[in-house]
Amino acid sequence: MQCLVMVILLMCCFYITDAYKILCLFPHVAKSHFIMAEALLKGLAAKGHQVTMVSHFPQKTPIPNYRDISLVGSMPEFVSQIPLDVVATGYVHTTVGFLAYMGYVNCENTLEFPAMKKFIAENEKFDLIITEIFNTDCLLGYVYRQNTPFIALSSSVMMPWAHARFGNPDNPSYMGNHFLYHGYEMSFSERLINMLYQEGLKVVYYFMFEKPAYEIAKKYFGQSLPPLSDIAKNTSLFLVNSHFTLNQPRPLVPNIVEVGGIHLKPPEDKLPKDLKDFMDGAKDGVIVFSLGSSVRAETFPPQKRDAFIQAFSELPQKVLWKWEGDTLPGQPKNVKIVRWLPQMDVLVTKKMRHVFSRRSKTDLSRRWTLPSFGRSM
């Protein structure tokens, strides 16, 4: 009898697992940034961990072990309504300035939002916290108060200001800057420009990003809060949505890991009927034109919009254009406008020929062999 009891107890032990409480702080309002974190947390929840996601994108259908703290309504949806000239005029200066402004507003509005204030006041304890390294570190004040191990994600390649917190090599003589387009084989003048931008962006980040975020964080988490840069240096692990086969190979310290494609899943092969009919009828194939989730194509100046319309109308292929408006003036017969694309299902079809995009790493890693033309933000 005793042997039987021991056998039963031993068998029960094989099913004992450790589940952790994990918090993910992802207040950035662009969905393209959220996709990677969502995939990771859904995977953790499926493994039995209790996960809490703070974001602008709560799940429409409840998921076991997955809890949302919704930030919907905390910010005007200006991030999904960026005019074209923000990313097309004075590219580096305009984009960095906009990112700084966006980070400041996002930080202040998130911490002032009632749902977030209630969550912070409850002071719930977690075993691990996940944050994003992008354009604000103000929520590291909450991480510091929790005194909890934390890791970070990046939905793109590493930002120029992220290397220092990990002691990662960042040699401008052969490592290209994310905001420039010099390629991997740079001339001497390009290396010089690369170095000036790389070092200059670190200074800009300190004064335009870090200092304002620190002042906001002190307001909510106490004046004795250490500098956010000091807190950031305690990041245990950094998961980057890049891959050396797509991006420039570069040295990485052990706690920086490339996980490009972590968000990918098998296509569902369930295209909406109107989209399926459009693609099936494309004898010469389909071209996708999308500026991602951050730039609204309908903000094109009429002259530029008409130039695209004219060019697309002369193509033998059909064109899927991600267009947020209800109508496209002068829409050609071979162009179909859509507000949102089931991108994985579209990109893997045999009808696909080319992709014209803002070169989002989340998008392009979906299908590596597809000809593409893009520009990164």
Per CATH, the number for 21-258 is 3.40.50
Residues of the chain with CATH 3.40.50.2000: 273-374
Two structure tokens written together for 313: 């109308």
pLDDT at 371: 52
pLDDT at 369: 46
pLDDT at 367: 45
Helices assigned H by DSSP within the chain:
2-13, 31-46, 84-88, 91-112, 114-122, 140-146, 188-204, 211-221, 228-232, 273-280, 302-313, 343-347, 361-364
Q: Which long-range contacts (CB under 8 A, 24 or more apart) does 308-315 make?
A: 309/335, 312/287, 315/287
Burial of 146 (0-12, 13-18, 19+ CB in 10 A): middle
Closest CA to 131 of 101, 110, 113: 110
pLDDT at 351: 87
Per CATH, the number for 273-374 is 3.40.50.2000
* The 318-322 sheet, strands edge to edge: 335-338, 318-322, 286-290, 352-357, 372-374
Q: Which long-range contacts (CB under 8 A, 24 or more apart) does 222-225 make?
A: 222/145, 225/141, 225/144
Q: Block means of pLDDT (10 residues each) for the chain, length 377 residues?
A: 63 68 94 91 96 97 97 74 57 78 93 97 97 95 97 92 93 86 83 92 94 97 96 97 86 95 78 89 92 72 90 95 88 92 82 76 46 49
Rg (CA), the chain: 23
pLDDT at 350: 85
pLDDT at 62: 94
Backbone angles phi, psi at 232, to 5 degrees: -60, -30
Helix (H), strand (E) counts: the chain: 13, 12
pLDDT at 347: 82
pLDDT at 326: 84
DSSP 107-162: HHHHHHSHHHHHHHHHT---SEEEEE-SS--TTHHHHHHHT--EEEEESSSPPTTT
pLDDT at 131: 97
Closest CA to 247 of 297, 184, 309, 341: 184
pLDDT at 156: 87
